[in-house]
Amino acid sequence: MSILKELRNIINPELILIDEELKNHTYTKLGGKADFFVTPSTVEEVQEIIRYANKTEVPFTLLGNGSNVIVRDGGIRGIVLSLKKFTGIKREGNKVIAESGARIIDASRFALKEHLTGLEFACGIPGTVGGALYMNAGAYGGEVKDCLESALVVDSTGDVHRLSADAFDLAYRTSNIAEKGYIVLEATFSLEIGDYHEVKAVMDDLTYKRESKQPLEYPSCGSVFKRPPGYFAGKLIQDSELQGKGVGGAEVSTKHAGFIVNKNNATATDYISVIEMVQREVKEKFGVDLEREVRILGED
Ligand SMILES: Cc1cc2nc3c(=O)[nH]c(=O)nc-3n(C[C@H](O)[C@H](O)[C@H](O)COP(=O)(O)OP(=O)(O)OC[C@H]3O[C@@H](n4cnc5c(N)ncnc54)[C@H](O)[C@@H]3O)c2cc1C
């Protein structure tokens, strides 16, 4: 049976988009098409899709908010799964429980509204809760690892498990989620009672810092590189005099050297060429290997 027919047996056909432009689902506004862009609305549908993909070996890719990925110009074959319909956020005691497709920014704002402290660092990170766990996202001294208590995941056979935070090997911008093949369905953050005005003041300060230092007026995927031990990626790039240099429509931001912006209808090939140029020049000038934080998906 064709992939489309099988998918239509699992979820409402309206939730399956064919040849969907992924530039509409990525922060860099780059990338080709997904053969099937699927947005299930129940956990059972997610489980069935995974079981089907495993049984038939149809390629399968999970996308969150697309804020830390570059999709190549040839797009992504097979099924691209989005959990954007899973957006619930609730409080239980001093915990915030957020579904994986909710924005971590919204979880942070929810915590503020509930007078809870611990998620302030996430107030400007444009990813989903699932993507934030996958990346162990963090900013300004905080990261997911500091407050994650547990998460609900689907494994590669389609079974659901609740795992405690230490099961994910969270470390600087990394986890074992890809290796284990987990799909995060929900995360539980353990927070503390805070003072609304103090929590808000921290969030306002972080928002001000972000807006004044980052080129948020252009599409990008945030900081492209991880912080190399003993250095700052942005400073190395700045000192290599690469700001404003680019390929096609993509260039190293003049406002924040750690960002590469899609300034003028760049292709993914342009963007990836700029990444490689930066890695080459920094290695040549300072002997430092810049490791990508951003993930590259799909084919040329
Ligand atoms: C302007 C800007 C500023 C940023 N600032 C920061 C920052 O301060 N700190 C920071 O850490 N990051 C930052 N980022 C990067 C990005 O927002 C984070 O890495 C975020 O956690 C990615 O989440 P996402 O939902 O967009 O994931 P995506 O980019 O869609 O995916 C990233 C990876 O997560 C996987 N994934 C997504 N959802 C799930 C799920 N439910 N289960 C399992 N795996 C999943 C995907 O398969 C993919 O491999 C920034 C990005 C931008 C564009």
C-beta of 26 in contact with ligand 1 (< 6 A): no
Q: What is the pLDDT of residue 1?
A: 63
C-beta of 298 in contact with ligand 1 (< 6 A): no
Q: What is the pLDDT of residues 82-93, one digit of tens each?
A: 999 999 999 999
- In ligand 1, the atom with minimum distance to the C-alpha of 69 is 29
- In ligand 1, the atom with minimum distance to the C-alpha of 138 is 11
Q: What is the pLDDT of residues 129-184, one digit of tens each?
A: 999 999 999 999 999 999 999 999 999 999 999 999 999 999 999 999 999 999 99
DSSP-assigned letters across all residues of 158-195: S-EEEEEGGGG--BTTB-SHHHHT-EEEEEEEE-EE--
CB within 8 A of 188, min separation 6: which ones?
Answer: 95, 96, 97, 148, 149, 150, 151
Residues involved in catalysis: 173, 223, 293
Q: Tell me the mean pLDDT in the region 4-27.
A: 96
C-beta of 122 in contact with ligand 1 (< 6 A): no
Whole-number Å distance, alpha carbon 293 to ligand 1 midpoint, is 10
Q: Which of 22, 24, 63, 103 to mutate to test the pocket of ligand 1 (most atoms within 8 A of CB)?
A: 63
